[in-house]
């Protein structure tokens, strides 16, 4: 049984918008009988306004996410973290990636005075999974999921985020890291793709590991 041999107690899944991190985190949590910690995306009252007017609402949107993520992570520290496995669809440090891309210089200076104070006691995952994809793939997935406020997201913005994520994880050494190239797989619709990723995650990961599954989408 996977539940009996799975070593990781706290797994965090990351990826740019459209990478499928929330879907994968939900599926993984169900598979290994873990508690799911999901970002409060739709609860952010500034998010729709941000996509309409990024410069005006970037700081408000960012601070809401920062505080929300901090409160969620604090809940993990106030109970026995290992009483049940935990799967999160983000790492706390990702907040700074979005801040770097979206905030002005003055806003970034303010953000950088707040975020480090909150980050001090954040629990560290046993494993981080970075779902990587090309910007073209991410844009295609964003269009297909057809969320109303995401319709204004353009290629340039996703490309900036993609580059920022790749840059961050290129030098990442905080925890064991599994980087999965997802362009050729669909783990939501194809159980074999999901099972293959579960098999990779169940193996010990020391340092950084890259995995590029072949999938069965070549030529489509």
pLDDT (0 to 100) of residue 216: 61
pLDDT (0 to 100) of residue 218: 42
pLDDT (0 to 100) of residue 99: 94
* Per-residue model confidence as pLDDT tens digits over 132-172: 999 999 999 999 988 888 888 999 999 999 999 999 999 89
pLDDT (0 to 100) of residue 82: 53
- Is 89 in the active site? yes
Domain chopping of the chain, boundaries? 2-211
Q: What is the pTM of this model?
A: 0.90
Of 89, 121, 195, 216, the catalytic one is 89
pLDDT (0 to 100) of residue 8: 80
Identify the CA nearest to 91 among candidates 169, 171, 149: 169
- Positions in the chain short of pLDDT 70: 1-6, 78-83, 215-220
Fold of the domain built from segment(s) 2-211: Rossmann fold (3.40.50)
């Amino acid at each position: 049984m996977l539940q009996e041999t799975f070593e990781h107690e706290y797994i965090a899944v990351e990826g740019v918008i459209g990478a499928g991190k929330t879907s994968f985190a939900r599926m993984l949590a169900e598979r290994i009988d873990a508690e799911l910690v999901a970002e409060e995306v739709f609860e952010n009252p500034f998010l729709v306004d941000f996509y309409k007017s990024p410069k005006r609402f970037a700081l408000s949107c960012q601070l809401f996410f920062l505080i929300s993520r901090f409160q969620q992570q604090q809940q993990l520290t106030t109970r026995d973290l290992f009483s049940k496995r935990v799967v999160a669809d983000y790492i706390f440090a990702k907040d700074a990636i979005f801040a770097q891309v979206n905030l002005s210089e003055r806003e970034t200076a303010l953000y950088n005075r707040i975020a480090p104070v909150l980050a001090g006691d954040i629990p560290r995952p046993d494993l981080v999974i970075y779902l990587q994809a090309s910007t073209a793939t991410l844009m295609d997935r964003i269009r297909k999921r057809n969320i109303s406020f995401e319709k204004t997201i353009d290629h340039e913005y996703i490309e900036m985020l993609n580059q920022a994520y790749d840059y961050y994880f290129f030098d990442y050494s905080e925890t064991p890291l599994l980087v999965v190239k997802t362009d050729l797989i669909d783990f939501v619709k194809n159980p074999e793709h999901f099972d293959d990723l579960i098999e990779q995650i169940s193996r010990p990961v020391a340092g950084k590991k890259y995995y590029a599954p072949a999938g069965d989408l070549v030529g489509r």
